[in-house]
Amino acid sequence: MRVIRKKRPLSFWLLGAVFSAFVLFLYGPMFAIFVLSFQGPEGGLTFPMRGVSLHWFRVLWEGIGVIDIGAAFRRSLVLGTVVMALTVGLSLLAGLAYRKKLPGGTALFYVVVASLIMPSIIVSLGIGLSFRLLDTGVKTLLEAQWPEALDAFTSTLGMFTSGLGAQLTWTLPFGLLIMFAVFNRFNPAYEEAARDLGATPWQSFRHVVLPLIGPSLVGVGMFGFTLSWDEIARSSQAMGDLNTLPLELQGLTTTVTTPVIYALGTVTTVVSFLVMGLTLATVGLWQSRRR
């Protein structure tokens, strides 16, 4: 039997061209940076390439001027891990709380989600200003009550105070929206069956609810880590004296004129892809065990 194929309409090719241009615009610069990071020792920041080598990765490993890239890398990893854990925990608790009618829940939801539409730099400036005002209050209190401790006090601004709070204003709304979507599709009949069989609320949550929503929690964790790992705007005025890797990378763009900055961009991108790959593998393993 002969199959007659219909001719594609012009709109199909136009939309295909728009989509291809979008993909090229989205991933083209990343691919170019990845390729240019393997420039030879005489290579520059643009094409054509002058040789292929790992020279700029070795330069990155040895250090860039006075900036300790290794320390900034470790700080970003630690902060991203803490943000991930808090995002998963708080999003899960919020999702469980919103399963029942919560007094003031609607207003609280809009307050949390409003953080997504606020300009990030404004959020960062507001958090930085709040903690500087807190510094003034703490210094005044120490001067009046404990003068000998005044010299030891520096600032409440820091990576795990204002910096952590600034990043949570970005990650928590995403986590909350994901958990809302998960629990809206969740069938409470599973919990009712567990209670009919004599399970306590904790046993019902641990052995029924948690395995079912586990892959979604892994996804929330991935969002929390990757959003923290790449965050610049909300951290710029709230991180204190110690910068994360994205902030150091932003500063290097105005001073470094060699492909070493591309090597750093490649390393950070690889870490992001590793986290996403680990997340997908964990979700796949979880679902296979559940089946």
Helices (H), the chain: 10-36, 55-62, 69-97, 105-117, 120-145, 162-184, 189-196, 201-204, 210-230, 245-252, 260-290
User: What does the radius of gyration of the chain's CA atoms come to, in whole angstroms?
Assistant: 25
Asked if the model's pLDDT at residue 21 lies above 90, the reply is: yes
Token pair 């923290």: residue: 228
Interaxial angle between packed helices 10-36 and 260-290, expressed in degrees from 0 to 180 and rounded to the nearest 10: 120
Confidence (pLDDT) at 113: 84
- In the chain, the amino acid numbered 254 is T
User: Looking at residues 262-284, what average pLDDT do you find?
Assistant: 85
Quick: pLDDT tens for 71-99: 888 899 999 999 999 999 999 999 988 88
What is the predicted pLDDT for the residue at 43?
Answer: 79
In the predicted structure, residue 238 carries a pLDDT above the cut 80: yes
Residue 1 scores a pLDDT above 60: no
Instruction: Return the pLDDT at 259.
Output: 84
Tens digit of each residue's pLDDT (9 = 90 or more) over 186-199: 888 888 888 888 88
d(CA 272, CA 276): 6
How much of the chain exceeds pLDDT 90, in percent?
A: 17
The reported pLDDT for the residue numbered 19 is 93
Please tell me whether the overall predicted TM-score, pTM, comes out greater than 0.85 for this model.
no
pLDDT at 89: 94
Report d(CA 205, CA 212) in Å as an integer: 10
Residue 250 carries which side chain, given as an amino acid letter? Answer: Q
How much is the average pLDDT of 90-117? Answer: 86
Q: Band of the pLDDT at 155, cuts 50, 70, 90?
A: confident
**How many C-beta atoms surround the C-beta of residue 109 within 10 A?**
17
In angstroms, the CA 57 to CA 167 distance is 29
Distance CA 188, CA 155 (A): 48
Tokens of 276: 């996403």
Q: Average pLDDT in the 147-171 region?
A: 86
